[in-house]
Structures are given as structure tokens and as C-alpha cells.
Amino acid sequence: DIDLTQSPSSLSASLGDRVTITCRATQGVAGYLNWYQVKPGQAPKLLIHGASVLQTGVPQRFSGGGSGAELSLTIDDLHLEDAATYYCQQTYSTRALTFGGGTKVEI
Amino acid sequence: QVQLQESGSGQVKPSETLSLTCTVSGARLTSGRDSWDSWGWVRLPPGRGLEWIGYIYHSGTTYYNSSLASRVTMSAYASKNQFSLNLRSVTAADTAIYYCVRVDARNHDGFDIWGPGTPVTVSS
């Protein structure tokens, strides 16, 4: 299985800040990397698919980047409602999908 | 608009079988555009991260998380527009919120639609 390591595991930032979360895979995932936002009591929400494609309806302050085995999620101009836990997911290995361990963002 | 809704046992005794059903509305499980899609299950244990359980293609082909494969069965019921999850021999470690999802094959297999989730507790 392809393991995904997210860093940091948690962070604290202020309104308006820019934050970046890194997702490192044990092998290249050819852009098959998705990002999700999870808030307590709510279903997870797909933010970005294909490493950098913003899902419809997601604010443009969210962006995805990177390539190969190192990908990232950046949130520009942090809003209060961005407080959540963020997960990366690889779908390159279609028979063995995996999620990263999560990054908790506090504001 | 496509919506998913989980239903099933919220409390299961250790060693018994957890059974959940996901009802799909706004799309057909096995035809049209949806033939590009597959349908799956994810869980979120308390204090831990998301865990992929498995998914089932419109063809009926299934793929399971290797750590759960010996205990998991997924099935699809086209006439009812539902798919199901059975997890056998449960332990406390299977306590989690269980979500059914749509896997969007046209968008890098992202899980673009989620059910609201159903909590399952394994306890005697």
C-alpha cells in the first residue's frame, strides 16, 4: 500500500494567514491526490482532486500543488470557518486507496 | 442532485456482524453517467483519522482495504438503488462513524458525494 504522511499533524494560525499542509507519499501518485476537509458533526468535503483541481463551490483561497510523491494544500487568507481537520488521499493505487493521518488547523 | 443516506444497526455486540445500507437518490447505481462511478464506504473512528473500507463498481467488482478484507463484504442492489456493507466479527476497534460515498471516476476517483454518516458502537 502507498502510505501518506501529512505534516504538520496540527497547526495554529491567525485569521488572514497563509498555511500550507504537506502530504508525502511512499511513491509517486501521478497526481491522483485528493484533499478533504472534515469538521466535527459534518460529513467530509472534497476540496481538491487531481492534486490541484478545485472542486466546484470550494473557495479559491484553497489551492493544491506539488507533484510526484510530495503534494501540498495551501489555504490563503485563513477564515474562521477553515478551522477543521484536513486529509490527503491517494487514488493512484485503485485497489488500495489510502488517507493521510490528518492535519488539524486551529484558528 | 445526488444524495446518499446510510441506515442500519447503530449498536453491535462484539463478534457479531455490522450491517449498513446506503440509499442513493438523484442517480442510478448502475446506468448512464453513473456507470463511470463506483460506490464505497469510509469510516472515522473516534480520535483517529479517515479509513477507506472499500468500494464496489457498477459491474459488481469490489475492492477492499487489505486490513479489513477478511471480514468485509459489499453488495449492490440496482433495483433498490442501494448498496450495502457487512463487517463480520466486530470488536471495539470497529466503533466509528461510517460514511457511504460516491467515487467519481471522472475526477481522479475523488469521493465527491458523502452521506451524513451513521455512528456505530461496538459494545456488549
User: In this structure, are residues B39 and B76 in contact, taking their beta carbons and an 8 Å threshold?
Assistant: yes
How close B38 comes to chain A (CA, Å)?
Answer: 11
What are the residue ranges in chain B where pLDDT is below 50?
Answer: 32
Through-space distance between the first and last CA atoms of chain B, rounded to whole angstroms: 39
Question: Measured between CB atoms, does A32 come within 8 Å of chain B?
Answer: yes
**Tens digits of residue pLDDT in B6-22:** 999 899 999 999 999 99
**Tens digits of residue pLDDT in A18-64:** 999 999 999 999 999 999 999 999 999 999 999 999 999 999 999 99
| CB-CB neighbors (< 8 A) of A50 in chain B | 107-108, 110
How many helices (DSSP H) and strands (DSSP E) are in chain B?
0, 11
Which has more pLDDT, A61 or A95?
A61
Is the Cβ pair A43, B112 closer than 8 Å? no
Looking at every residue in chain B, the average pLDDT score rounds to 92
Q: Which residues pair with A8 in a beta bridge?
A: none
Locate the DSSP E strands across A1-107.
4-7, 10-12, 19-25, 33-38, 45-49, 53-54, 62-67, 70-75, 84-90, 98-99, 103-106
Range 57-86 of A in CB contact (< 8 A) with B: none
